[in-house]
Structure 1
Amino acid sequence: MSNVSDAPAVGGRKDAPGGKQPEKRTGPVTFYRQVVAELRKVVYPTREQLVTYFFVVLAFVLVMIAIVSVLDLGFGKLAFEVFTGADDI
């Protein structure tokens, strides 16, 4: 028979597996300091990089629009031929 103490730890119990105690909640001041510290690590792109990235993304989106448009037109014509019944054959 299983004993209650053999059950795995659930929620925030202190007898969690591995002997680790659950972490305490972070206060608002500590959270703010951590956010500021992380934002200082961010490397922002230069204006030149930003313009380059913009045009690369724009070109990619335009290519994808073209591909989807061609596929849509092709499948639309195919569906029209299938469902209207081509009498030429």
Structure 2
Amino acid sequence: MTEERESERGSRPATAGDRKGRPTPSRDGRATKQSPPARLMRFLREVVAELRKVIWPNRKDLVAYTIVVLVFVSFMMALVAGLDAVFAKAVFAVFGNG
């Protein structure tokens, strides 16, 4: 987003018009009886409409996010394994080896 546009918006929250696509039509509250195939088709149309609003990451971002997740998971695994080893030694020190 450009600086002009950000200053133009100010602290106003993002609206559907700021995103790509148009907002999903709201329901008027009236429950209408529809057949199961009609309900399924409506559901699928709404899913496609929502997926069009998603801002998908490009390949560079996807690779960066994947690396960050793998590094974080590796760190957490090492931390938990280390704590497990420390607590196991403490338990054997207190209660003996059998």
- The answer, yes or no, to whether TM exceeds 0.5 is yes
| Unpaired segments ≥5 residues, structure 2 | 1-28
Distance, in Å, in 2 between the alignment partners of 1:79 and 1:22 is: 64
| Unpaired segments ≥5 residues, structure 1 | 1-20
Q: Which has the larger radius of gyration?
A: 1
Q: How well do the aligned residues superpose, as a CA RMSD in angstroms? A: 2.1
- Bigger relative CO (Cα 8 Å, ≥ 6 apart): 2
- Count matched residues: 65
Normalized against structure 1, the TM-score is what? 0.63
1:81 aligns with 2:89: no
Among candidates 48, 59, 72, match of residue 60 of structure 1: 72
Distance, in Å, in 1 between the alignment partners of 2:73 and 2:33 is: 43
**Percent of matched pairs sharing the same residue:** 46
Normalized against structure 2, the TM-score is what? 0.58
